[in-house]
Amino acid sequence: MTTRPIALFDMKAQQSLIRAELDRRIAAVLDSGAFINGPEVRELEQKLAAFAGCAHAVGVSSGTDALQIAMMAEGIGRGDAVFLPAFTYTATAEVPLVLGATPVFVDVDPVTFNIDLADLEKRIALVRRDGRLKPRAVIGVDLFGLPADWPAIEAVCAREGMFALDDAAQAFGAALGGKRLGRWGHATALSFYPTKTLGCYGDGGALLTDDAERAELYRQLRTHGEGKSRYEVLRTGMNGRLDTIQAAILLAKLGLLEDELVARARIAEGYGKGLSGLVQAPTSVPGAVHAWGLYSVLLPDGADRASVQETLKAAGVPSGIYYPKPLHHQPAYAGAHRASVAGGPPPLPVSEMLCTRILSLPMHPYLTQDEVSRVVAALRAAV
């Protein structure tokens, strides 16, 4: 085995394969001077929609802005409850709060780490009985690349008259029931942060939907609420456009994505076999195709995670913690959480437990079998 350090995420290996195409596309943008909403943005939108199998894609400035634009389009704001997992990244919760709505945190399944449908039902009923907030939306997160239970989420939202928004920031390329993410829920938000399954070299994002009216509204909202001309302002919007250079970078990378998804699945399979019986390895579910945006295991209960990480580091193996604290324990959200239901909401024990035991291992399409074996051996020595 080699001893060179292993990358938690490796963008250099990918770049070496497409450097000439990257240079060509970036040079074309520089020559055109169309730095905002240039032709590359429209080309990317068409190709994203085709890849996902949906009718419309709208490029935006980040995954966070994708979430915000989607909720702005629904008029979500003060007095509204937005239900989302307590175990996820902060962006999912901050957007409802910025818009004046109240995030209502839902516990997650201890095996899939995605939103727990029974707990979701319980908290919707609790909010309705409390009567101070109106249930308006569910944000399902396809955590680490595994699709949430979208048929069940859609059924709940249809019954309750709520907006179903897929936060697929870590899962572009995943599928469920033969449909790629982008066709579930009313809309899907993507992030193109550099470490995502499809990432640019800065911030970027997109919204996917089959609804033509929503897509048109998203285009207006990303550009200050403009109508058919620049100085026709139809509604209050935001500056949420995708830079043309980032679109050009994503176009150069998009051709690699299918093969990279296959490589991620192969690496995950190698981890699963090598770590069997040692840790709780991530799972898939029937009918789902995992994108493997991250590979996160649960250490045994009582294991010293800090010590495990130090041992891995000494062996040249990086690791990460996604996430060290559930959202309802974050200072920014704790007050809204306590006030979401009179007397305080029920506990969120699974989300709290996961934060003490979760550990993410190197995951990118360019890990070699030798490197996978080194990670497995190092973790076996550390636990």
Return the bridge partners of 58, or none.
207
> What pLDDT score was predicted for residue 227?
85
Tell how far CA 279 is from the center of its chain: 24
What is the residue type of 309? Q
> What pLDDT score was predicted for residue 229?
79
The CA distance from 216 to 174, in Å, is 25
Q: What tokens does 207 get?
A: 């919204």
Query: What pLDDT digit, counting tens, does each position of 10-57 carry?
Result: 999 999 999 999 999 999 999 999 999 999 999 999 999 999 999 999
Q: List Cβ<8 Å contacts ≥24 apart for 130-133.
A: 130/341, 130/342, 132/79, 132/342, 133/79, 133/80, 133/81, 133/102, 133/104, 133/340
The CA distance from 225 to 231, in Å, is 10
- The closest alpha carbon to 360, from 4, 52, 9, belongs to 9
The CA distance from 160 to 137, in Å, is 9
> What pLDDT score was predicted for residue 313?
95
- The closest alpha carbon to 327, from 61, 83, 51, belongs to 83
Show pLDDT as tens, one digit a residue, over the chain (383 residues): 556 789 999 999 999 999 999 999 999 999 999 999 999 999 999 999 999 999 999 999 999 999 999 999 999 999 999 999 999 999 999 999 999 999 999 999 999 999 999 999 999 999 999 999 999 999 999 999 999 999 999 999 999 999 999 999 999 999 999 999 999 999 999 999 999 999 999 999 999 999 999 999 999 999 999 988 788 888 899 999 999 999 999 999 999 999 999 999 999 999 999 999 999 999 889 999 999 999 999 999 999 999 999 999 999 999 999 999 999 999 999 999 999 999 899 999 999 999 999 999 999 999 999 999 999 999 999 99
> What pLDDT score was predicted for residue 1?
56
Return the bridge partners of 83, or none.
104, 138
Question: What are the b/e assignments for 306-316, b being 16+ CB within 10 Å?
Answer: eebbebbeebe
> What pLDDT score was predicted for residue 3?
66
The CA distance from 217 to 287, in Å, is 32
> Do 120 and 149 touch, CB atoms closer than 8 A?
no
Query: What pLDDT digit, counting tens, does each position of 194-249 carry?
Result: 999 999 999 999 999 999 999 999 999 999 999 887 888 888 999 999 999 999 99
The residue with tokens 């980032």 is 246
**Gyration radius from the chain CA atoms:** 21
**Given the DSSP bridges, would you call strands 80-85 and 102-106 parallel, antiparallel or unpaired?**
parallel
The CA distance from 381 to 383, in Å, is 6
Structural domains present in the chain = 12-254 (3.40.640.10), 257-382 (3.90.1150.10)
